[in-house]
Chain A
């Protein structure tokens, strides 16, 4: 559009210059007439030029709506239907379904099961890893360990677990609502996401997922 308007103005330039020259050479009697014809020429040229320039940026504020992609990298809510989302307990080893963040302490690998808890896996022999327990923690996304104390998030609570006995971990402390690890309404990043459906349970986390025709966007 800008190129077009420039070309347009350039095309009219000789004409305009011609008018001005004529104006200079003309006598006073014909002056009024000439001025009228000049304005008559100038006005449409100006109008077209200004319109092409879009000086107020009105068009830019209305971008063409992006079509919803058929397939796109985005987020999906992880739901829980557990009645008591604050219960934390040791369980026998579980299958890894949505493997999350990893943490190493000594010969033990801890892998978060997104939104569900923490897998505890012995890797003393890397060729023969042994799952030894699963710590069920709703909303878990993160962990850190000092000595035999494990810190994780139970949704938006910081919980402190005594893991000295891995098959019977105990909650040593809970600090409620200190941070926002899990937002139940929207994912922790921009882009498309699968809309929340509360009939499926409490949103306990978000996972990356290949989405098809997502309707929600952050």
Chain B
């Protein structure tokens, strides 16, 4: 039982970690060395002593071996309307307004494209673990398209991501996960909490009101939410209880 708990705990750490060398609970307070963690809407991310940046069309790779003097290792044309980048282990997940692209960073200095999944035109941050990628697509005039949904892609066969599930939402933005819970910002409709015990079949457990939610970062039991006007800090407790610790809005 202890072993199982340990495995679950380690797994949750991996899933929560944005970067390969991101902070864990152990070094969270010490903040010694390495990198921090961004949200799912980020265009900058770090992994394995490298920084990856996406602009509208390209992916730029910088070596941070000399952290004060980043060295450009190369740039790759990815597509159009690129919006987000997310690193998980030796992979990069790039979200554009029409597709999700997956790159291998087995060689961190030279990302290599593995696969892509094209979806309807909409905004789309991505987060992922070993076998699945969760993508939100948001329609509306700004992003194009009319689909508002959480999409679950099977990425076991990384060259051919397979759409397994579409969960309709109102106005999804950024997302984060920890353990068997997926937290999806739903704009002015709050924040949705899904049970992902069955990872391809997210089940809505709770809807949190009290703000317009755009993105979340989850570290252990602390959820940091980018909301309209600033940030909100929540403590994640047992039985999906989410208690507001503070709002920083001025």
Contact = CB atoms under 8 A, between A and B. Distances in A.
A101 B42 CA distance: 7
Interface string A41-53: 0000000000000
Interface stretch (B63-71, B108-116, B151-159, B189-197): B63-71
Interface string A69-104: 100111100000000000000000001100111111
Contacts of B123: 189
Contacts of A72: 141
A103 B97 CA distance: 23
Given A101-B215, A142-B43, A179 B38 contact: no
Interface stretch (A2-10, A11-19, A106-114): A106-114
Contact of B248 (A121, A141, A179): A121
Given A126-B233, A160-B70, A144 B226 contact: no
B238 interface: no
B104 interface: no
Given A73-B141, A173-B70, A144 B38 contact: yes
B44 A151 contact: yes
Interface in B17-43: 23, 28-31, 33-39, 41-43
Contacts of B23: 104-106
Contacts of A124: 29
What class of interface size applies to chain B in its complex with A? 35 or more
Interface stretch (A27-35, A56-64, A127-135): A127-135
A178 B248 CA distance: 33
Contacts of A106: 23, 28-31, 36
- Main SS of the interface on chain A? strand
Interface string A142-169: 1111110101100000101010000000
Nearest to B229: A99
A180 B235 contact: no
B245 A127 contact: yes
B68 A172 contact: yes
A176 B29 CA distance: 34
Contacts of A162: 68
A180 B248 CA distance: 30
Contact of A108 (B31, B44, B233, B235): B31
B29 A126 contact: no
B217 A179 contact: no
Interface residues of A, number: 55
Nearest to B60: A179
Nearest to A124: B29
User: Which residue, A99, A180, A208, has most C-beta atoms of chain B within 10 A?
Assistant: A99
Contacts of B72: 175, 178
Contact of A101 (B41, B144, B219, B229): B41
Contacts of A129: 231, 233, 246, 248
Contact of B44 (A121, A143, A191): A143
Interface of B: 23, 28-31, 33-39, 41-46, 51, 53, 55-58, 60, 62, 64, 67-70, 72, 81, 83, 97, 123, 140-144, 215, 217, 219, 222, 224, 226-231, 233, 235, 245-246, 248-250
Q: Kindly list the 5 A-B residue pairs having the minimum CB-CB distance in the complex, ordered from nearest.
A: A106-B31, A105-B36, A126-B245, A191-B142, A144-B44
18 contacts: A74-B142, A102-B224, A103-B42, A103-B217, A106-B30, A107-B29, A111-B226, A111-B248, A121-B248, A126-B233, A127-B246, A146-B67, A158-B53, A172-B68, A178-B72, A189-B81, A190-B143, A191-B142
Interface of A: 69, 72-75, 95-96, 99-111, 121, 123-124, 126-129, 131, 141-147, 149, 151-152, 158, 160, 162, 172-173, 175, 178-181, 183, 188-192, 208
